[in-house]
Amino acid sequence: MAEGTAVTERTATTERAGRRRGPHLVPGRMVAVLLGGLAAALAAVAMAGVTVGSVDLPPGAVWRVIGSHLTGAASPDPLRDQVIWELRTPRVLVAALVGAGLSVAGVALQALVRNPLADPYVLGVSAGASLGAVLVVSFGATAFGGLGVTGAAFVTALLSVLAVYALAQRGGRLLDSRLVLAGVAVGYLCSAATSFVQLRLDPSELQGLMFWLMGSVAGATWSDLGVPAAVIAACTVLLLVQGRSMNALLAGDDAAAGLGASVPALRIALLVVASLLTATSVAVVGGIGFVGLMVPHAARFLVGADHRRVLPVAALGGAVFLVAVDIVARTADRPNELPIGIFTTGLGVPFFLWLLRRRPGGAA
Amino acid sequence: MRLDIAGVTAEIDGTPIVSDVDLVAEPGAFVGLIGPNGSGKSTLLRTVYRSLRPSAGAVSLDGDDLWRMRARQAARRRAVVTQHGDLGGEFSVAEVVAMGRAPHKGVLERENAADRAVVADSLERVGLAHASDRLFSTLSGGERQRALVARALAQEAPLLILDEPTNHLDVRAQLGLLDLVRSLGLTLLAALHDLDHAAAYCDRVVVLQHGRVRASGPPLEVLTPEFVADVFGVRAHIGAHPITGRPHIAVASAKPW
């Protein structure tokens, strides 16, 4: 009798311990803590981003300048004010927004094509968006039916996703090899067209070309922030609402329909959201690669595959990541600044290859 | 729940894959859908998943047109275990089963204690209560199918559709799964490959060939040796199972050797 009770208790304890641990590194109830930690990390890395650069500034001065703007007081030091408030702060905020936007775009694309290798850069969506942006920058809004830079980038991004999608599928199933090859091909085509448009217009504009091909957050201004902030917030909320359906979609179209998801509508929503997020990012900072590949993977590694957890973790994590990478890009070769895309690609390609090798033979 | 497939034609890229199919599953019955490869079984089932709209005919549940319901409403009345049950990510077994609660939840509503109880109960019924915190990807083939049946149970739908649920399972897992679904007390429609399974477990079978219904009725009335030879191209012997005494179909290659 006593023995029986002891055994039952032990079993119960083991079960409880097992449940508390769960299969994910960060269990469900700790996700809020993780998000708080990421928010704190974002604040810290943003502060560092404003403090360091070609000239390092004392943190006290940074606080005083930011404080003066937030309270509306007169600025203590016009020169530092210029560097901190007009150059570095918007730059850090743009890096954070774009990091979040590209990461969320990666999550949307990966759910759409049901393949973790998807990323706006790998699938040629960034290159597609660059083309539209460059057309408007070069020829003016009239070249694209009155659309602005972001609008034109959205149209060409959407067209390139559709092209990749159509090329990569056979009988409704997407194959790894075809997906990557179609993405690379569409990306090259769009990049070539972008180069052609720019060089034709102004052969001395090589600097601008580098911007669209490699991406850069240098030169971001306060006026660059509004549209991306609104688009990224709206898209992230829209995806969060669809989190359950996105989970179901991973099990296949038939299973998702069986679970009550409206599959065609969901696919259209994911297509539009991924294109919109990529387009707004590219319009502001050019093509920055592999953020949408690495960050969602890191998020899933921590919290598992449930999109309702992956999305907020990836958004905040992506913001932290890109602000941090921008600090490295600014300080690695001082006083020169290197394009941020060199670093994200330098990290992302080995990661991509590792992921490619780890996956079983090209299955969808 | 009565499933009524009436005069359904379904096309893929303009080619009819199933034509004018009638099939009825009475409440509580286990109906087997059988036929050679390419006879249109999976395509017909897709019209019940609502992933392929019939170009003619109607699918109805207790008289209500399935294709006129809202997606979530349909998912509260019929659950689905598809053939490719692989999930593209790291979900725990409990998370997979909790997906079955989706049609019962508002978009921003979180799973509550009642949902968790349904999930735990579903896992219990399929014998996987101990595995709820494991990663779905680490389960064996038989356990995965059971977890997907548990997900369907969590939908609390009275009709369960299965597409070749015993594919790739070892013999024990195959029979275990069929025992399990038969014991659930649901209306069942399952595409089955194994004629012996169909004979032993189904109340009725519907035989498809070239996208059309060749015959339907109780297995022993339909699956005569002549009929099996005609549709499946094999010789068949029908008798009582030497161990269980249930109907039993032994098949052999059409060419003696």
Give the residue extent of every domain in chain A: 2-362
Amino acid at B153: L
Closest partner CB to B91 (pick from A114, A261, A304)? A304
Task: Work out the minimum CA distance from B200 to partner chain A, whole angstroms.
Answer: 27
CB A190 within 8 A of CB A128: yes
For residue B85, which residues of chain A lie inside 8 Å, CB to CB? 251-252, 255
CB B34 within 8 A of CB B208: yes
Contact A260 B103 (CB under 8 A): yes
> Is A241 at the interface with chain B, CB within 8 A?
yes
Average pLDDT value over all residues in chain A: 85
User: Best residue in A31, A170, A259, A307 to probe B by mutation, most B CBs within 10 Å?
Assistant: A259
Task: Work out the minimum CA distance from B8 to partner chain A, whole angstroms.
Answer: 18
What six digits make up the tokens of B220? Answer: 């022993």
Average pLDDT on A333-352 reads 88
> Is A6 at the interface with chain B, CB within 8 A?
no
- B215 versus A11: the higher-pLDDT residue is B215
Q: Which residue has the tokens 């954070």?
A: A96
For residue A115, which residues of chain B lie inside 8 Å, CB to CB? 88
Predicted confidence band of residue A113 (pLDDT cuts 50, 70, 90): confident
Contact A259 B100 (CB under 8 A): yes
Q: What share of chain B is helix, strand, coil (3-state, %, to 5)?
A: 35, 30, 35
Cα(A211)–Cα(A209) distance, integer angstroms: 5
Render each residue's pLDDT in chain B as its tens digit; 257 residues. 899 999 999 998 889 999 999 999 999 999 999 999 999 999 999 999 998 999 999 999 999 999 999 999 999 999 999 987 677 668 999 999 999 999 999 877 888 999 999 999 999 999 999 999 999 988 998 999 999 999 999 999 999 999 999 988 899 999 999 999 999 999 999 999 999 999 999 999 999 999 999 999 999 999 999 999 999 999 999 999 999 988 899 999 988 77
Closest partner CB to A300 (pick from B76, B90, B105)? B90
* pTM of the entire predicted model: 0.88
What is the pLDDT, as a whole number, of residue A171?
64
A221-244 as b/e: b if 16+ CB within 10 A:
eeebbebbbebbeebbebbbebbb
Q: Which residue has the tokens 């033979």?
A: A361
- Least confident segment among A225-239, A332-346, B7-21: A332-346
Between A and B, how many residue pairs show a Cβ–Cβ distance under 8 A?
A: 103
Predicted confidence band of residue A360 (pLDDT cuts 50, 70, 90): low
User: Best residue in B99, B115, B116 to probe A by mutation, most A CBs within 10 Å?
Assistant: B99
CATH architecture for the domain at A2-362: Orthogonal Bundle (1.10)
| pLDDT at residue A364 greater than cutoff 80 | no
Predicted confidence band of residue A10 (pLDDT cuts 50, 70, 90): very low
Task: Work out the minimum CA distance from A172 to partner chain B, whole angstroms.
Answer: 11
Rg (CA), chain B: 19
Contact B95 A306 (CB under 8 A): yes
Q: Which residue has the tokens 């094999």?
A: B234
Contact B89 A255 (CB under 8 A): no
Predicted confidence band of residue A229 (pLDDT cuts 50, 70, 90): very high
> Is B123 at the interface with chain A, CB within 8 A?
no
What six digits make up the tokens of A71? Answer: 């309270």
> Is A306 at the interface with chain B, CB within 8 A?
yes
How far, rounded to the nearest angstrom, does the alpha carbon of residue A97 sit from its chain's CA centroid?
9
Contact B88 A114 (CB under 8 A): yes
DSSP output for A220-265:
--GGGTHHHHHHHHHHHHHHHHTHHHHHHHHT-HHHHHHTT--HHH
What is the pLDDT, as a whole number, of residue A5?
43
Question: CA end-to-end span of chain A, whole Å?
Answer: 55
Question: Listing from the earlier edge strand, what are the strands of the sheet with B204-209?
Answer: B78-81, B159-163, B187-191, B30-34, B204-209, B212-217
Contact A254 B46 (CB under 8 A): yes
CB B62 within 8 A of CB B74: no
DSSP output for B131-170:
GTTSBGGGS-HHHHHHHHHHHHHHTT-SEEEEESTTTT--
> Is B90 at the interface with chain A, CB within 8 A?
yes
> Is A115 at the interface with chain B, CB within 8 A?
yes
Q: Could you give the percent of chain A with pLDDT greater than 70?
A: 89
Closest partner CB to B92 (pick from A22, A115, A261)? A22
For residue A296, the chain B residue with the least C-alpha distance is: B89
User: Best residue in A254, A301, A308 to probe B by mutation, most B CBs within 10 Å?
Assistant: A254
Average pLDDT on A330-353 reads 88
DSSP output for A84-122:
IIIIIHHHHHHHHHHHHHHHHHHHHHHHHTT-TT--TTT
What six digits make up the tokens of B202? Answer: 């189904």
Predicted confidence band of residue A21 (pLDDT cuts 50, 70, 90): low
For residue B160, the chain A residue with the least C-alpha distance is: A258
Contact B95 A304 (CB under 8 A): yes
Contact B90 A258 (CB under 8 A): no
Which residues contact residue B125 at a Cβ distance below 8 angstroms, ignoring those fewer than 6 apart? B150, B153, B184
> Is B137 at the interface with chain A, CB within 8 A?
no
Highest mean pLDDT among A77-81, A216-220, A244-248: A244-248
Query: Which residues share a beta bridge with B53?
Result: none
CB A282 within 8 A of CB A216: no
For residue A22, which residues of chain B lie inside 8 Å, CB to CB? 92, 133
> Is A252 at the interface with chain B, CB within 8 A?
yes
Contact A24 B92 (CB under 8 A): yes
For residue B45, the chain A residue with the least C-alpha distance is: A254
Q: List pLDDT tens digits, range A165-214.
A: 888 877 666 777 788 899 999 999 999 998 888 888 776 666 777 777 77
